[in-house]
Amino acid sequence: METPFLESFFLSYYIENWFFLSHFHRTLNGRNLLFYYHFSLVIARYYGRCRPHASSSSNTKIQNPETYKMIIIYGSPQSFTTYSNESLTFEECVNYCFESETCVAVYNSDVTTTVCQMFDLGKISKVKETNGGGAKVAMKMNSTDPLQCPLTAEENTFSTEMQNGQYNITPLNGIWTFSSRSCPLNFTMFERPLGFWCIGVIPVPNLLSQETGASLCSSVYGGILSGLQTLDEYNYIIGIVQPILEQVTETIKSYGTLGFWINGSRKPTCKQTVTSATCNGTNEFDFTDPLLSAYDGYVWGKDQPSGIGATDSNCIHFGFNTSTYQSVGVDDYKCTVANTTNAGFLGYICGVRPTIR
């Protein structure tokens, strides 16, 4: 049941069978806000409603979902590209968006109907507040305080990684502005000290050399072969590659090792020489990944890198055993070959900067 409270545009929702221990008011920019406590959980009604996290489906990619809330306001989308129509009540639509890994907002021009518009990440850029009426917008927002909704512009400006993107919302003068940072399809975003970086594992139908992999990464995605900043990036690639290996043909599996090319080129000073303090492992290589500032993800295989005395083993690949599908670590190899007797190169790891809208 919905009843007016204090101002025509403010709603207070009373939920049956819930016992509220106390309530209090706060005022922000002339708006009256009402907070209800249910034991240790606060149900805050910000310009409508703030729904705390209740549950999350097993396949949801939201990080730290306990901090999420759906903020509901009177308003309507002002600037957007596309959306999907869902035959759901507004309540159901809000829940659906909350559980979705790509939905950031839903809109219903009349909450008594069973049609709502659902906006995915990057598809909506502005929402305009109104002072009442039937039209409502629910936005997925992050708050570090589990006891209340965000109350200031700073708290309402948030960053949260999703499967393919990250986004902010900033309210100012009645306009809620979305800015999204997103990766290409099937890439995943990682936050590095130097900035956000999208990494994609790209298998190809035919085995390829490092030179070809680097060229395809550039021409198809506008990227560069990715380095491995952290163990998280290293493990992410393992998780993506293993299912790919299960699907390859027996002919491809006949190679003892299958590799994916990654960033790294042997330094001229470390060619045709012996191991030394300046040519000993990762420091044998130059890296062109622009956001790479650490090399913890370069987990070298047994006795690798081993090509320091060779004339042409100057590139790096991420190898996998074709029988067990387990990682054998990273290894230096010839840049110009697509396969040898024991190894084939099935794809490349591409890195790009995320798109900001």
The structural domain count of the chain equals: 2
Is residue 296 one of the residues assigned to a domain?
A: yes
Close Cβ partners of 4 (under 8 Å, ≥ 6 residues apart): 10, 11
Of 159, 179, 199, the position where a domain reaches its end is 179
| pLDDT tens-digit readout, 257-293 | 999 999 999 999 998 888 899 999 999 999 999 999 9
Is residue 235 one of the residues assigned to a domain?
A: yes
Q: What percent of the chain has pLDDT over 70?
A: 75
Query: What CATH number corresponds to the domain at position 308?
Result: 3.10.100.10
Cβ atoms 103, 112 nearer than 8 A: no
In eight-state DSSP terms, residue 268 is G
Is residue 60 one of the residues assigned to a domain?
A: no
Is residue 10 one of the residues assigned to a domain?
A: no
- Residues 198, 170 share a domain: no
* Confidence at residue 166, expressed as pLDDT on a 0 to 100 scale: 76
| pLDDT tens-digit readout, 195-220 | 999 999 999 999 999 999 999 999 99
Q: How far apart are CA 46 and CA 32, in angstroms?
A: 9
* Confidence at residue 52, expressed as pLDDT on a 0 to 100 scale: 43
| Burial of 291 per CB tally in 10 Å (0-12, 13-18, 19+) | middle
* Confidence at residue 157, expressed as pLDDT on a 0 to 100 scale: 66
Is residue 35 one of the residues assigned to a domain?
A: no
- Residues 284, 210 share a domain: yes
- Residues 192, 79 share a domain: no
| Strand, coil or helix: 232 | helix
* Confidence at residue 181, expressed as pLDDT on a 0 to 100 scale: 83
Cβ atoms 104, 121 nearer than 8 A: yes
- H or E element: which one contains 162? none
Q: Is the pLDDT of residue 307 over 70?
A: yes
Q: Is the pLDDT of residue 350 over 90?
A: yes
- Residues 144, 89 share a domain: yes
- Residues 193, 153 share a domain: no
77: its two tokens: 């989308």
Phi-psi label, residue 39: left if phi above 0, alpha if psi -120 to 50, beta otherwise = left
Q: How far apart are CA 133 and CA 110, in angstroms?
A: 9
- Residues 166, 258 share a domain: no
Q: Is the pLDDT of residue 79 over 90?
A: yes
- Residues 301, 201 share a domain: yes
Nearest to 165, CA basis, from 181, 178, 177: 181
Sign for the pseudo-dihedral over CA of 309, 314, 319, 321: negative
pLDDT (mean) for 57-78: 64
Q: Is the pLDDT of residue 294 over 60?
A: yes
Of 179, 196, 218, the position where a domain reaches its end is 179
- Residues 229, 113 share a domain: no
* Confidence at residue 160, expressed as pLDDT on a 0 to 100 scale: 62
- Residues 261, 170 share a domain: no
Print the domain residue range for 300. Answer: 188-356
- Look up the pTM and report it: 0.68
Of 179, 214, 243, the position where a domain reaches its end is 179
Q: How far apart are CA 79 and CA 71, in angstroms?
A: 19
Amino acid at the residue 338? A
HSE-up of 228 (CA within 13 Å, CB side)?
Answer: 26
- Residues 337, 318 share a domain: yes
343: its two tokens: 């190894």
- Residues 194, 167 share a domain: no
Phi-psi label, residue 29: left if phi above 0, alpha if psi -120 to 50, beta otherwise = left
Which range, 99-108, 120-129, 148-157, 241-250, has the best average confidence (pLDDT)? 241-250
Q: Is the pLDDT of residue 32 over 90?
A: no
| pLDDT tens-digit readout, 113-156 | 899 999 998 899 999 999 888 899 999 887 666 666 666 666 66
Place of tokens 């730290």: 64
Average pLDDT, the chain: 80
Q: Is the pLDDT of residue 54 over 50?
A: no
Is residue 75 one of the residues assigned to a domain?
A: yes
Is residue 215 one of the residues assigned to a domain?
A: yes
- Residues 285, 145 share a domain: no
Is residue 199 one of the residues assigned to a domain?
A: yes
